Amino acid sequence: MSGRVVDRADFGLLFDALDEAGYTVVGPTVRDKAIVYDDLTSVEDLPIGWTDEQDGGFYRLRRREDEALFGYAVGPHSWKKYLFPPKTDLLHVKRTDGSLFFAETELPEVRYAFLGVRACELAAIAIQDKVFLESGAVDRTYQNARQGVFKVAVNCIVAGGTCFCVSMETGPESTTGYDLVLTEVIDAERHEFVFEAGTEAGESILAELPGRPVAESDRTQVAHIVAETASSMGRSMDNAGIKELLYSNQEHPRWDDVAERCLACANCTLVCPTCFCSTTEDVSTLDGTDATRSRRWDSCFTLDFSALHQVPVRTSTKARYRQWMTHKLASWYDQFGSSGCVGCGRCITFCPVGIDLTQEVAAIRASPGARP
């Protein structure tokens, strides 16, 4: 596949090319003191000159010393808000003359172009593909949104304080799953974007952009940027034998320790790019003539999530946190053949009390009584 180096002054032409190809461009923008994903109309909507500071339970934006477009890590949103929306109407029921008529909800016709997808997020989308498309049952809502998505990936030029994608082998370099990938190169002398196409669709869009061919020096610079980012990860996690480690330590005292801190607020599952739990609810009009069944995000941290015959199976915070972490890092392998964690660090950053799953794994692994 071809490559091209595009000057900052011409970056807005990418929006024009995607728009002409019929895509709705969504990507990062600054809103409510955070970098979130939303509809974009021009390059000016991007978080120009902004970066983020992240730690356990801490997230702040601050100005950079340059005008980088992608000089941040990740925010509270993930791309699953478009592929697996927080709430989806599944069907409508109408009562007429004593008879019930059922109708599936019409799916929207939209072709998304995701701009600014990180390597860990590409891995997260691939994981959700397994869950919703390849695990034996196809989810029509996810399939409808997923088909035709054009992904413009970004190689990270900074690592967040809670990032550990290197440990999960999911970043910071995007190696697969994209249509286009770009690396932002910015210094005192230049502000350019090194593009590489990953698909024929990416080739088509790249052909619409002006620029020069990618030289070997450009690829060397990209490799240097990626290496610098990889060496500055804020967290790390030892994954050796992690499934067996967690399976063998279900009654480890560390679970009691974390339960004393955990609020069971479900923030970690809401910001996670791979969590897929949901529930359904029925809402009817007061006169009983119309009703709607909807699906909305749920979490294994809610008390009634595991309720059977209205009695919760996991009544304690300890049991619910243990379920979440053990599923994410252990039983996910049994279900889908991979870890359910991509190392984005969102669950650490947006936990109100700063619970860090990398520290929890390390504590269990390091304790004298832990079984390997």
> For the segment 239-258, what is each residue's pLDDT rounded down to a tens digit?
999 999 999 999 999 999 99
Say what angle helices 254-261 and 357-366 make with each other, to 10 degrees.
150
- Minimal CA–CA distance to 192: which of 3, 45, 339? 3
In the chain, pLDDT over 70 holds for what percent of residues?
Answer: 99
* pLDDT tens, position by position, 164-218: 999 999 999 999 999 999 999 998 889 999 999 999 999 999 999 999 999 999 9
Q: How far apart are CA 364 and CA 200, in angstroms?
A: 47
Decide if pLDDT at 372 tops 70.
no
- Per the structure block, which two tokens stand in for 109? 């016709």
pLDDT at 91: 93
How far apart, in whole angstroms, are the C-alpha atoms of residue 11 and residue 213? 16
Structure confidence at residue 367 (pLDDT):
80
Beta bridge partners, 114, equal: 26, 151
For 330-364, the pLDDT digits (tens) are: 999 999 999 999 999 999 999 999 999 999 999 99
Q: What is the pLDDT of residues 223-241, one digit of tens each?
A: 999 999 999 999 999 999 9
Across 9-16, average pLDDT: 97
The tens digit of pLDDT for each residue in 263-308 reads 999 999 999 999 999 999 999 999 889 999 999 999 999 988 888 8
Whether the per-residue pLDDT at 370 is higher than 80: the answer is no
Tell me what pLDDT residue 303 has: 87
Q: What is the mean pLDDT of the chain?
A: 95
Could you tell me the two tokens for 308?
């059977």
What pLDDT, on the 0 to 100 scale, is given for residue 369?
61
Q: Which residues contact 152 (CB under 8 A, 6 or more apart)?
A: 14, 27, 113, 114, 115, 116, 117, 178, 179, 180, 181, 182
> Does the structure show a pLDDT above 60 at 162?
yes
Residue ranges covered by each domain of the chain: 3-230, 242-366
368 has pLDDT over 80: no
pLDDT bin (cut points 50, 70, 90) of residue 312 is confident
Query: pLDDT band at residue 135, thresholds of 50, 70 and 90?
Result: confident
Asked if pLDDT for residue 152 goes beyond 80, the answer is yes
